[in-house]
Structure 1
């Protein structure tokens, strides 16, 4: 079997079978009608983005995940949307996804739309608030970290995933391939062809993002237990007047 690296959010696997085993074991840990905990739910959010019908499955936004039976006498993952509607989905279908879903492509274009602004904000923040060695205190571990060993984190509850989802829901966006760049030579990321959409996301992101400097992967050490509090030293994005 050829090696196929699979990345699902913060999880990495050498083979698709390893990813399937993890989610199969996750499903097995729950009783029918039992809600998933916050950490497992976050992994499922990333997993669901791989589904060929991700946008339709997610709909107006996900309220919760649970395990429930199917008409075939088996059990699978289900989700309840913010409007109370429900649907099931197969973790196998998600893992086996051969290409990015339109939802994933859209999210990638969103991230690329704000990449340069985030890089500049991080650089300016270190220059303005760093100590004599150019270091800042990680908001989670309280260690002093340099720019090269730091991560600009979208703080809960408005993680980048949530920002993308709420932007789609607030603007009633029906994602179309025509909105996005077509893959070509030397093009490694998806971008917006629709520049109005790109600007709208940049403005929305600027208005809701709560950014902080942390040590890479420091937020993973708490799993889903992190309390939602104000950032101690938030990274500011400049509001562009008349833009």
Structure 2
């Protein structure tokens, strides 16, 4: 059932409609650009829905601006809204989390921390693979859509059936943990993803990830949302098998 989003000054019948309103707003600004007052009024109403509203607002909002997320890892395609507080401090926030209006589950937080843990080696694999497959126009063909895409339009993911969720759950089970008991950092300013609070788990998960991921990733169009049917077809698509790369052990 569709969930409406009521900002007081603007009403959306569905969350999808709200996303369709705020996504172009974000894209309309340059990196580091301050948000105009006519848009800021909607962001002020939107931030009230954030599950961490008090922490995000802090002493008070001076203005909003657009910039890269704190943990963008050099991905120039990633951008988000930021808050400049009246005391000069700053923090980022997700307009999508505001639209949802509820905190992410522990499962989502754990998987985000795990993705961040192996991000560097996945990024390296993504670059090497793209360079190997690119044409003269610096593009590769998405195996799911057939569309020719640039490096910044690609998304590196695990090839089914050994998906990110399967790997994460297997790792948790192997350490006799649960989504709720996995040791994660608390939310704080300028943090895109939670981090492991047990440093011993970092090298263990990296090694576990290499072994459980079937040692390969696949590049697809990051703007495409895959249905279950699409994921099944990706398992047997010859182009996908060609667009894979073995992860290197460190």
TM-score scaled by length of structure 2: 0.52
Pick which of 223-232 and 139-148 moved more. Answer: 223-232
- Which of the residues 233, 237, 240 maps onto 2:243? 233
1:162 and 2:166 are equivalent in the alignment: yes
1:19-98 maps to which residues of 2 (within 5 A)? 98=102
Cα 1:167–1:131 change in 2 (3 A) is same
Aligned residue-pair number? 155
1:146 and 2:156 are equivalent in the alignment: no
Answer yes or no: is the 8 Å Cα contact 2:210–2:247 preserved in 1: yes
Considering only aligned residues, what root-mean-square deviation do their CA atoms show, in Å? Answer: 3.2
1:105 and 2:109 are equivalent in the alignment: yes
User: 2:54 aligns to what?
Assistant: none
Pick which of 227-236 and 103-112 moved more. Answer: 227-236
- Which of the residues 2, 7, 12 maps onto 1:2? 7
Using the TM superposition, give the Cα deviation of residue 164 of structure 1 relative to its aligned residue in structure 2, in angstroms: 0.9
Using the TM superposition, give the Cα deviation of residue 225 of structure 1 relative to its aligned residue in structure 2, in angstroms: 6.6
Cα 1:101–1:222 change in 2 (3 A) is closer
User: 1:189 aligns to what?
Assistant: 193
Cα 1:101–1:13 change in 2 (3 A) is farther
Instruction: List runs of 5+ in structure 1 lacking aligned partners.
Output: 5-10, 16-95
Using the TM superposition, give the Cα deviation of residue 170 of structure 1 relative to its aligned residue in structure 2, in angstroms: 2.9
Cα 1:149–1:178 change in 2 (3 A) is closer
- Which of the residues 100, 119, 130 maps onto 2:123? 119
Cα 1:225–1:161 change in 2 (3 A) is closer
Matches of 1:202 and 1:121 in 2, distance apart?
A: 14
Answer yes or no: is the 8 Å Cα contact 2:139–2:148 preserved in 1: yes
Using the TM superposition, give the Cα deviation of residue 117 of structure 1 relative to its aligned residue in structure 2, in angstroms: 1.8
Answer yes or no: is the 8 Å Cα contact 2:153–2:222 preserved in 1: yes
